[in-house]
């Protein structure tokens, strides 16, 4: 059973985030700089063994997919919190990066530019 994804309880909604460098219907009035969320994940030995069996069947490796989705979601939510701490109400230019820290341990980074936006007049 998949672990529930974190639910963001702050003020920046997902609609106020974008991979673009502008936000439709809004003008950027202040740039607050780069914000990021980072998480480091590993799979337990039991999960790794289970996923190894899934590779024998081919197709989607559900256990790894769930782990990746959870890591990306967690990094995204942490980025939202970081932006709010800096006074932002939106984030533009969002990107993801992942690096293997050591065998079986992966860092997932979500970053973007925190901004203050106002609706277009």
Can you read off the two tokens belonging to residue 86? 């800096």
- Does 24 map to a domain? yes
Domain of residue 30: give its range: 14-119
Q: Could you tell me which residues come within 8 angstroms of residue 19 by beta carbon, excluding any fewer than 6 positions away?
A: 93, 94, 95
Give me the helix-helix angle, 45-57 and 62-85, nearest 10°: 130
- Does 2 map to a domain? no
Number of structural domains (the chain) is 1
Residue 37 is part of a domain; what is its CATH number?
Answer: 3.30.110.70
- Does 7 map to a domain? no
Backbone phi, psi, residue 106, to 5°:
-125, 135
- Does 3 map to a domain? no
- Does 43 map to a domain? yes
The pTM (predicted TM-score) of the whole model is 0.78
pLDDT at position 26 over 60? yes
Distance CA 112, CA 80 (A): 10
Task: For 84-113, write each residue's pLDDT tens digit.
Answer: 999 999 999 999 999 988 887 889 999 999
């Amino acid at each position: 059973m998949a672990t529930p994804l974190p639910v963001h309880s702050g003020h920046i909604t997902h609609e106020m985030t974008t991979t673009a460098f502008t936000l439709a219907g809004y003008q950027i009035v202040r740039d607050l700089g780069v914000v990021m969320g980072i998480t480091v994940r590993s799979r337990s030995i039991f999960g790794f063994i289970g996923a190894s069996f899934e590779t024998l069947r081919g197709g989607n490796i559900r256990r790894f997919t769930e782990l990746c989705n959870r890591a990306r979601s967690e990094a995204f939510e942490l980025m939202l919190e970081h932006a709010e701490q800096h006074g932002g109400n939106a984030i533009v230019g969002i990107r993801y990066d992942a690096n293997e820290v050591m065998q079986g341990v992966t860092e997932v980074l979500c970053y973007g530019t925190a901004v203050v936006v106002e609706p277009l007049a």
